[in-house]
Amino acid sequence: MTAAVASAARSSLPFQAPSESNVHVASKPRGRHDVSTSINYYKDPGDGSLPMPIVIADNTVKNERPHVAKPVVVHDVTGEEERYSLDSHGFQFLRHESKLSGLQAFQNDDLVKSEYYPESVELLKNITGASRIFIFDHKTRCGPSNWHKLGRGNRSSRGPLLRAHVDQSYAGAELVLRRWFPDEADELVRKRYQIINLWRPLKPILKDPFAVADATSISESDLVAASIVYPADRDETWTIKPPGAEAEGAHRWYYKYGQRPDEVLLVKCFDSDEGVAARRAPHTAFENVEEKDKEARESIETRALVFYD
């Protein structure tokens, strides 16, 4: 990647595509489909109590955290993808074709780690200019949107998550870093690091599409630290409160209608650089009532620690 491209990738300017032939801005205009829908936010009891933790054990996810649906318009970015970048908004759309194709291939963990991880690392390096990328997790989703209510073993039927959240809080990001790099963590936290998700449809998405918020439209006061508890460990995420009455409509949500497998979305979950406009981008699946009878969504998300010298 040239120095000019590296500089553009690091800045908050509109995305400039690197010269590699399989990475370029998505996509040709297809007409826009803004959606009037609702987003499920955290229902804060207002008494100062912590959110109920999500408990994961025995292949089962127990999530009984209360939520409240608030009406929103989710805006289709089609034809305007270049307006949004990781540092200016907290997300970025790209076109990138994977060597792998179809749900069966992406459910093969060995194949994903040997083929998909390396190409994801290359893509992230090209876009961010980072010196080091470490992918620490991936998940496929192909189940129903009510998968949380399926009881024991529901993790095997994981589907879209229809609740606004960020995968790591600021403290939770450091938990992840120290889990994977215990011997280097004290040095790594002194430099800029990020957690970025790479989200890819496995077939064109119509039902339960993926929405991401403009990070600058979500106030710090709307973020609530919330735990995920495992048998021998824990994570900390952000759950999202709706804007107050005085700021109704302040949260700006975006998606890409009919997003295809070669149209990937980068979502910044954390950035240690407090000077950038977008440090974290809340996200969620949402229901488009016009498409609710379509086939279940199939997607994969990879989660990466991104380091800078």
- Give per-residue pLDDT as tens, 58-106: 888 888 899 999 999 999 999 999 999 999 999 999 999 999 999 999 9
Q: Looking at the predicted structure, is the pLDDT value of residue 157 above 80? A: no
pLDDT at 26 over 50: no
Confidence of residue 149 (pLDDT cuts 50, 70, 90): low
pTM, full prediction: 0.89
What is the average pLDDT across 157-168?
A: 91
Token duo for residue 273: 């650089």
Question: What is the distance between the alpha carbons of residues 71 and 64, in angstroms, rounded to a whole number?
Answer: 22
What pLDDT, on a 0 to 100 scale, did the predictor assign at position 93? 98
Q: What is the spatial distance between Cα 200 and Cα 251, in angstroms, rounded to a whole number?
A: 24
- Does residue 286 contact residue 73 with C-beta atoms inside 8 Å? no
Question: What pLDDT is attached to residue 58?
Answer: 86
Average pLDDT over residues 14-30: 43
DSSP 86: T
Residue 15: closest CA among 74, 77, 91: 91
Backbone angles phi, psi at 239, to 5 degrees: -100, 155
What single-letter DSSP state applies at residue 97?
-
* Of the candidate ranges 63-77, 139-153, 260-274, 286-300, the one whose mean pLDDT is the lowest: 139-153
Q: What would the mean pLDDT of 281-295 be, rounded to a whole number?
A: 95
Pairing mode of beta strands 223-229, 54-57: parallel
Asked if residue 211 has pLDDT above 50, the reply is yes
pLDDT at 221: 94
| Mean pLDDT over the full length of the chain | 89
Is the pLDDT at 21 greater than 60, yes or no? no
Across the range 108-116, mean pLDDT stands at 97
Task: Report, as an integer, the average pLDDT of 264-283.
Answer: 98
Beta carbons of 222 and 246 less than 8 angstroms apart: no
Q: How confident is the model at residue 247, as a pLDDT? A: 73
Is the predicted pLDDT of residue 20 greater than 80, yes or no? no
Question: Could you give the percent of the chain with pLDDT greater than 70?
Answer: 86
Report pLDDT digits (tens) over 241-264. Answer: 999 867 777 999 999 999 999 999
pLDDT of residue 145: 73
> Are the C-beta atoms of 187 and 276 separated by less than 8 Å?
no
Quick one: pLDDT band at residue 148, thresholds 50, 70, 90?
low
